[in-house]
Amino acid sequence: MDQFWQQQKPFARRTERVIVVAAIDHWKTCMHDDDKPAGPAMPYRPRDLSDEQVHWDLGESQSYGQYLNLEKILSAQQPASYEHDEMLFIIIHQASELWMKLCLHELTAALDHIRRDDLGPSFKMLTRVARIQAQLVQSWDVLATLTPADYSAFRNHLGRASGFQSVQYRLLEFIIGNKTAQMIEVHKREADAYATLQRALHSPSLYDECLRLLSRRGFEIPDDYLDRDWSQPYRPSKQVAAAWLAVYHSVDDHWDLYELAEKLVDLDQKFQLWRFSHMKTVERIIGYKRGTGGTGGVSYLAKALELYFFPELWTIRTAM
């Protein structure tokens, strides 16, 4: 066999030379007089739309811009300074608020399906939220192109405006399961927002409804976890952990509950990544300065990394 390959080497070398020479000849034919490479000569052909049924005249139909209300959306960027980079800051936060609106839309519907023991549609909704969260995490990468000098040039124009005051972010935390009543006090001067947050604070969260579902399926969930003061922070329970552990130990018997549990873990993990990316972006841009909303900035954001929406789903992993 070695002798065979030795005999093939001269032929292989000749083949390589032929290929190289052919490539050089082709490259030369694609050169202009100024020795800059150019692509193969291609005749210019304007786009032919003769076979397309384009609606050039929309008649009484609404347009794309009207359907999306783009005039209103694209005029919502009103920088408070003349600094070039303030536009980036505004758009990143406005886009994040739009993504959060979709998260709330999906989570509210998912919660309703779980309440009715109709888990199938909720899986799709929770998966979609996780994909949205990935977009939110990536948005911090874009904002991180803002240097400390860039931000300092317009930061004072924000006054006390801060992401800490985001109504939708607070709603997300309340609906998923992290509740602290004091957090809504900053919204008192906005009556509608305050009322919306009050309702979410005093309603069962996504996790509360999941525990009620476990109870309906025959798992032992303490009574004071099925009907309680929903405005109070959730406290981890050994009995709740035991119920989830039973689900994981009998996956075939409880497949939909097992899948629900994994969707919740995915949601929790993505939220943690979002928080972490937020903290690191703030650290990169302002260091350890106090936030415009009055918090400690990085130190405040670091505290949030210790929070879990579904603590038992994390602790049972050690026991499996």
- % the chain with pLDDT above 70: 87
CA 66, 71, 77 angle in degrees (round to 5)?
150
Output the six-digit token pair for 226.
């099925």
Rounded Cα distance, 191 and 297, in Å: 27
- Residue of 188, 198, 192 lying closest to 165 (CA atoms): 188
pLDDT digits over 197-243, tens only? 999 999 999 999 999 999 999 999 999 999 999 999 999 999 999 99
pLDDT digits over 103-153, tens only? 999 999 999 999 999 999 999 999 999 999 999 999 999 999 999 999 999
The residue among 40 and 98 whose pLDDT is bigger is 98
> Letter for the amino acid at 145?
T
Asked whether the predicted pLDDT for residue 163 surpasses 70, the reply is yes
Question: Which pLDDT belongs to residue 40?
Answer: 61
Q: How confident is the model at residue 44 (pLDDT cuts 50, 70, 90)?
A: confident
User: Look-up: residue for tokens 């924000």?
Assistant: 158
Rounded Cα distance, 257 and 119, in Å: 8
Rounded Cα distance, 147 and 143, in Å: 9
3-state class (DSSP) for residue 154? coil
Considering Cα of 75, then 79, then 80, then 83, what sign does the dihedral take?
negative
Q: Is the full-model pTM beyond 0.75? A: yes
| Mean pLDDT of the 60-65 span | 96
3-state class (DSSP) for residue 63? coil
pLDDT digits over 230-289, tens only? 999 999 999 999 999 999 999 999 999 999 999 999 999 999 999 999 999 999 999 999
Write the CB contacts of 36 (distance below 8 Å, at least 6 apart in sequence): none
* Measured CA distances, 301 to 104, 139, 298 (Å): 22, 17, 5
Rounded Cα distance, 95 and 85, in Å: 16
User: Which of 4-13, 42-51, 240-249 has the weakest average pLDDT?
Assistant: 4-13
Alpha carbon 178 to its chain centroid, in Å, reads 18
| Mean pLDDT of the 2-19 span | 52
230 and 179 Cβ atoms separated by less than 8 Å: yes
**CATH architecture type of domain 83-164+205-319:** Up-down Bundle (1.20)
